[in-house]
Structure formats: C-alpha cells, structure tokens
Amino acid sequence: MKILITGSSGQLGKEIVAQKPLSMELLLPKRNELDLSNKIICKNYINFHKPDFVINSGAFTNVDLAEKESDLCFAINAEAPFIFANAIKEYGGNLLQISSDYVFDGRKNFPYETKDNRNPISSYGYSKAKCEEMIEEILTPNHQLVILRTSWLLGPQGKNFLLTMLNLHKTKNKLKVVSDQIGVLSSTFDIAKICWEIINNWNLISKKHHIFHRTCQGVSSWFDIAVEIGDIAKRYGILKNPAEVCPIKTKDYLTLAKRPMFSLLDCSGSNGIDNVECQYWRHELENIISKIKDKQ
C-alpha cells in the first residue's frame, strides 16, 4: 500500500513516519518536491503517484502569521487538500485530513461534538474549516475521507508550547501564561497511533463517520500546562529550578490572531477507533517529557 504523508518534517508528520507499519510504502516529499501552496505541483504530484492514502498533516500552522498571510495560509490549508480530494475522487484513493479545534469559535462551555457547526474566529481556523467543507463534499459520498480533529498538539520534537516552555523555565525566573483559555493537550504519539489505526481499519471507520475528535482526557489551561511542565521536568532532572508561572488573562496578552476561549473536543466517537482512550493529559505530558529526557 502506498501512502503519501505531507508535512513529514513537522512534529506530527515525524511521529507518523516513526510509527509506520512495516507493510506500508511511504512517499515523504519535502517542500521543494511538493509545495502545498502551488496548485499545479499538487495536482501533478498526486496524479503521478496516485497514492492509496494521503495523510495530509502539512499545514500553515503559525496562527498569528496567518492573519498577515491569509492567502498563503488558505492556499496551503484549504486549496491543496481540495486539489488532492478532486484527484483522489477520480482515481479512487482516500484522504485522512488532520484538522483542528480552531474550526470552532470557542463560545461553548461543554465539549464540541463532531456535528457542531464550524464557526472559526481566525484566518487559520477559517482555512481549516473551509478545507473540511470543501473536501467533505467531494469525498464523503464514497467514504473516501476521514477528518481527524485534534487540539494543542505537543511532542518531543519540532516547535510547540512544551519545548518553548522548557526553554523559558531554564532561562527565566518568572513566566506569564494565559489561564483563561480552556482546552486540553494532545500528543503526537497518540495522534500518530490513531492515524495508523484509521488507515488500517479504513473501510470500517470511514463508513461509521467521517469526522473524529481525539485529544488527551481532562481539562486545563495553558497556565496549568506550563506549571506542570516545570514540575515534571524538575522531577526528571531536566530542570533544577523551574520558573514561577503567573496566570494572566487573554486580554492582557495581545496576539494577532484570536484564539477560541474554550476548545475541548468531545472524543467519545474516537474511543471506538482503537478501544483505548488517550491518557489523562498530565500522564501523557509526563510520557512526552520522559522521552525528551531519554534523548538527552
């Protein structure tokens, strides 16, 4: 089976590749071979290789920069998957699209269900929401699509909140971190595992639903995670003295893009994928930090 993975140099892409089952042949183009912002290249690449599955993990992920470069963000996050979807429909492949809690506005106060209306509040969120809308129209009639939404993705490599905070804990005495945005982290280990479960059981899963949510269990704020990172890293000997973390409000931390104030996803549907729920967020965070320690 031939699988195209976009974004294989990203934090999630790397982990998907690391967990590859033996039987799969992977296509892992770098940006200079498959530039997702170039429609012609996307069309030619997919029509030439005709992969059985595309795991589209590549994306414009800088949420603040997306406010300034909204056209580029839209081209990469929405138009490229749309081109893949049209080609896939023609030759009979399948698309696993990685998506985000940012398709929602964050105005709910209980977990978003897969059937809830999309209502993004940022350019990045808009591009991910439009992507979903455009590809589902093309690919759901023949069960050729699964959309996997996740949130607050962390892993031991790449660019993410965990690695940024570890660095800040090492170099600062005091950190200010937003405490009124509510959500929960996801781990690249768990999401990569779920991606392969979906691919391995495609017929069963894609006929059940076409949208799944997957995150860790529990509830937190970025402030909670920042404190926990310091505590766990100290226990693992990665840090001697974690910084003092001070809670601040979103209104006092100006960013270009608005973020959803509440982004918990109801993951009950995805628990059926592998019969194992993702761990409680503190345990999964410890698991990730232990892997960082192992590499040192």
Q: Is 124 designated active site?
A: yes
For position 11 contacting ligand NAP by CB under 6 A, the verdict is yes
Q: Among the candidate windows 2-10, 110-118, 215-223, 228-236, which touches ligand NAP by CB under 6 A?
A: 2-10
Length of the chain equals 296
Cβ at position 188, least distance to ligand NAP in Å: 7
CA distance 280 to 237: 22
Cβ at position 173, least distance to ligand NAP in Å: 27
Q: Among the candidate windows 8-16, 163-171, 197-205, 250-258, which touches ligand NAP by CB under 6 A?
A: 8-16
Selected binder of ligand NAP within 3, 51, 53, 100 (CB under 6 A): 100
Size of the site for ligand NAP (CB under 6 A): 25
Tokens at 90, concatenated: 């023609």
- Cα angle vertex 165, ends 163, 167, to 5°? 70
Q: Given the complex with ligand NAP, which of 32 and 296 has the nearer CB atom?
A: 32
Selected binder of ligand NAP within 4, 7, 96, 103 (CB under 6 A): 7
Q: Given the complex with ligand NAP, which of 183 and 230 has the nearer CB atom?
A: 183
> Which of these is catalytic: 45, 112, 124, 126?
124
Tokens at 275, concatenated: 């019969």
- DSSP structural state of residue 158: S
Integer CA distances (angstroms), 201 to 52, 101, 207, 271, in order: 14, 24, 10, 14
Kindly write out the interface string for residues 32-71 of this chain, putting x where it contacts ligand NAP by CB under 6 A and - elsewhere.
--xxxx-------------------xxxxx----------
Selected binder of ligand NAP within 66, 98, 178, 245 (CB under 6 A): 98
Cβ at position 3, least distance to ligand NAP in Å: 16
Cβ at position 21, least distance to ligand NAP in Å: 20
For 234, residues 6+ apart whose C-beta sits below 8 A from its C-beta are: 240, 241, 242
Integer CA distances (angstroms), 121 to 145, 232, 264, 266, in order: 25, 33, 16, 20
For position 111 contacting ligand NAP by CB under 6 A, the verdict is no
DSSP of 32-100: TTS-TT-HHHHHHHHHHH--SEEEE------TTHHHHSHHHHHIIIIIHHHHHHHHHHHHT-EEEEEEE
Selected binder of ligand NAP within 76, 199, 211, 273 (CB under 6 A): 76
Beta bridge partners of 182: 221, 262
Q: Given the complex with ligand NAP, which of 10 and 51 has the nearer CB atom?
A: 10
Selected binder of ligand NAP within 12, 131, 139, 168 (CB under 6 A): 12
CA distance 25 to 20: 9
Nearest one of 17, 15, 60, 192 to 3, comparing CA atoms: 17
Q: Which of residues 113-172 bind ligand NAP (CB under 6 A)?
A: 150-153, 158-159
Selected binder of ligand NAP within 9, 119, 217, 221 (CB under 6 A): 9
DSSP of 85-100: HHHHHHHT-EEEEEEE
Q: Given the complex with ligand NAP, which of 37 and 234 has the nearer CB atom?
A: 37
Active site residues: 124
Which residues would be at the binding site for ligand NAP (CB under 6 A)?
7, 9-13, 31, 34-37, 57-61, 76, 98, 100, 150-153, 158-159
